[in-house]
Amino acid sequence: GSEVERILTMVEGVLLLVDASEGPLPQTRFVLKKSIEGDKRPIVL
pLDDT of the residue at 7: 93
> What residues contact residue 31 under an 8 Å CB cut-off, 6+ apart?
4
DSSP three-state, residue 13: coil
Q: Is the pLDDT of residue 21 over 70?
A: yes
Residue 44 has pLDDT above 90, yes or no: no
Please check the confidence at residue 22 and state whether its pLDDT lies above 80. yes
The answer to pTM > 0.85 is no
Q: What is the pLDDT of residues 1-17, one digit of tens each?
A: 689 999 999 999 999 99
CA 30 – CA 13 distance, rounded (Å)? 16
Phi, psi of 4, deg, nearest 5: -65, -45
Determine whether 4 is exposed, middle or buried from the number of CB atoms within 10 Å of its CB (0-12, 13-18, 19+): middle
